[in-house]
Chains A and B, each alone.
Chain A
């Protein structure tokens, strides 16, 4: 039952858009990489070892459910699930594409509100991820750390006195932490300030990526900003640094939006209005075009152009219009044209309701 809800509902805790600075920051994420002693890292494991770890994590998950989180965590073995369902979880950022493709010996534990997901046997034995709407990295870290402590009661973590938590790739060693925000920066892109800004961020030890992580493009002006290094600083310090910089980016983005609207209100409102026009009338639309136009509509909501629309609706649409999600909703495989048609219908009805 829980699984069906997971792969059929676009809404989750982060899509609420309730957090601080939700007008610019879509979500905050904390990821902790953890491994256990006495088992090789996942890419070297045989099936029995992978199963053994899943059993250990199952007992750890019971501990998590005792610490009083608001939402229950449940473990799913991915090999038992249909490929399309796994693809839906990728689109919801709950598992990685690698886990979806090679499901044998892999598992994921997910909380009911989807704010916690623990990937088992990904690049590391465990990838604990916590997600929250808006900019709330500190609170999200506290949740992740709590989950980490609960799991540690049942798992013997590979921890080195000098190097900290040991990970399969040395880029994650130490804290195993990647803190990141998903951020919407149309103002900075349209005023052509984004390039310079991203360069400055890299000098500050931060990395900017596209929406779906490493090597992806910035669909719909949505970027991911995260810490680059994981060793040598305490988690709180890494997180505070990221949060302080992100606050500055939020400020710059708001300035850019005000400037755009102030300088050329007619052109801006025309562009955003046209985006809404296309989305509410199109009969066939690719996800790339839809992402671009939804970005404009998102900006329009901020500028007060579309009072009947909410960020929440757009966040849910962004998930529901993805290829696997559309096919899951339809209950069958769809060719690209059919998908684009279904997507257009979905967007039209949601914008009208």
Chain B
């Protein structure tokens, strides 16, 4: 049987879809099935580590580090000694501080995996107070911009005072990274 789509290659994926009680059959070759997304039923037997390695494989820095480690000073976590290429091989960081010490290498990777580098969810109650305040601050600053643009100066003045108050609270409380 030839592929319904290209009519050239043999059909290897056979699917039946039922739309409003109407049965529709499709017979596709491997190439067309992939293009139409029908072939995804076969499970990708990829572990997170493999997935990560494939992400990292695209990273020119890692390729450089693997082929010629002696030519470049390896980025290393100052706290636990984990190097970036150790992380690239095993897919695991050594400690929480790796996120700071290897930040410039990790950020592009995190962006690629997660689509962003900025957390928007829960913060710890006991140690995350300042993070919560900083978020509040960011949203107040946005409101302030809006108030100024709308020439709503009374509201702007009120917001400015509120911002000042929170800023001084943050200054009194430390840097807010939650990491001692």
- A residues near B, CB below 8 A? 35, 37-41, 43-44, 123, 145, 148-149, 152-153, 156-166, 168-171, 173-175, 177, 191-196, 198-200, 202, 209-210, 214-215, 217-218, 229-235, 238, 256, 259
Q: Which of B51, B82, B91, B99 counts the most chain A CB atoms within 10 A?
A: B99
Residue of chain B at shortest CB distance from A191: B18
Check A168–B178 contact: CB distance below 8 A: no
Given contacts A168-B92, A170-B110, A215-B47, contact A229 B115 (CB under 8 A): yes
Would you give the 0/1 interface string for B131-147, flagging 1 where the beta carbon is closer than 8 Å to chain A? Answer: 10010000000000000
Check B15–A195 contact: CB distance below 8 A: yes
Check B117–A231 contact: CB distance below 8 A: yes
Q: Which residues of chain B have C-beta atoms less than 8 A from A256's C-beta?
A: 18
**B37 in contact (CB, < 8 A):** yes
Check A234–B21 contact: CB distance below 8 A: no
Residue of chain B at shortest CB distance from A235: B121
Given contacts A159-B131, A214-B48, contact A40 B119 (CB under 8 A): no
Cβ distance A39 to chain B, nearest Cβ, rounded Å: 8
Sort A-B residue pairs by CB-CB distance and give the 9 closest, nearest first.
A164-B119, A195-B41, A158-B96, A232-B116, A199-B37, A231-B114, A159-B178, A175-B121, A199-B40
Given contacts A156-B127, A166-B96, A198-B40, contact A192 B120 (CB under 8 A): no
Check A196–B37 contact: CB distance below 8 A: yes
Cβ distance B33 to chain A, nearest Cβ, rounded Å: 9
Check A160–B94 contact: CB distance below 8 A: no
Q: Which residues of chain A have C-beta atoms less than 8 A from B120's C-beta?
A: 174, 232-234
**B31 in contact (CB, < 8 A):** no
Cβ distance A239 to chain B, nearest Cβ, rounded Å: 10
Check B41–A157 contact: CB distance below 8 A: no
Check B91–A40 contact: CB distance below 8 A: no
Q: Which residues of chain A have C-beta atoms less than 8 A from B40's C-beta?
A: 195, 198-199, 202
Check B94–A41 contact: CB distance below 8 A: yes
- Give A170 to B126 CA distance when docked, in angstroms: 24
Cβ distance A232 to chain B, nearest Cβ, rounded Å: 4
Check A194–B41 contact: CB distance below 8 A: yes
**B106 in contact (CB, < 8 A):** yes
Cβ distance B18 to chain A, nearest Cβ, rounded Å: 6
Cβ distance B138 to chain A, nearest Cβ, rounded Å: 11
Q: Which of B95, B109, B121 counts the most chain A CB atoms within 10 A?
A: B121
- B residues near A, CB below 8 A? 13-18, 21, 37-41, 43, 45-48, 51-52, 80, 82, 90-96, 99-100, 106, 109-110, 113-128, 130-131, 134, 176-180
Q: Which residues of chain A have C-beta atoms less than 8 A from B176's C-beta?
A: 161
- Give A158 to B119 CA distance when docked, in angstroms: 14
Cβ distance B102 to chain A, nearest Cβ, rounded Å: 10
Cβ distance A244 to chain B, nearest Cβ, rounded Å: 18
Check B126–A166 contact: CB distance below 8 A: no
Q: Which of B82, B113, B178 contacts A171 (CB 8 A)?
A: B113
Check B92–A169 contact: CB distance below 8 A: yes
Residue of chain B at shortest CB distance from A40: B95
Check A234–B121 contact: CB distance below 8 A: yes
- Give A157 to B122 CA distance when docked, in angstroms: 12
Cβ distance B52 to chain A, nearest Cβ, rounded Å: 7
Residue of chain A at shortest CB distance from B99: A166
Check B92–A41 contact: CB distance below 8 A: yes
Given contacts A159-B124, A160-B99, contact A232 B80 (CB under 8 A): no
Q: Which of A39, A123, A164, A256 counts the most chain B CB atoms within 10 A?
A: A164
Q: Which residues of chain A have C-beta atoms less than 8 A from B114's C-beta?
A: 170-171, 173-174, 229-232
Q: Which residues of chain B have C-beta atoms less than 8 A from A37's C-beta?
A: 96, 178-180
Cβ distance A44 to chain B, nearest Cβ, rounded Å: 5
Residue of chain B at shortest CB distance from A164: B119
Check A259–B21 contact: CB distance below 8 A: yes
Check B47–A214 contact: CB distance below 8 A: yes
Q: Which residues of chain B have C-beta atoms less than 8 A from A192's C-beta?
A: 14-17
Knowing that A163-B110, A198-B41, A232-B118 touch, tell me 5 more A-B residue pairs with CB under 8 angstroms: A153-B126, A161-B130, A163-B117, A214-B46, A215-B46
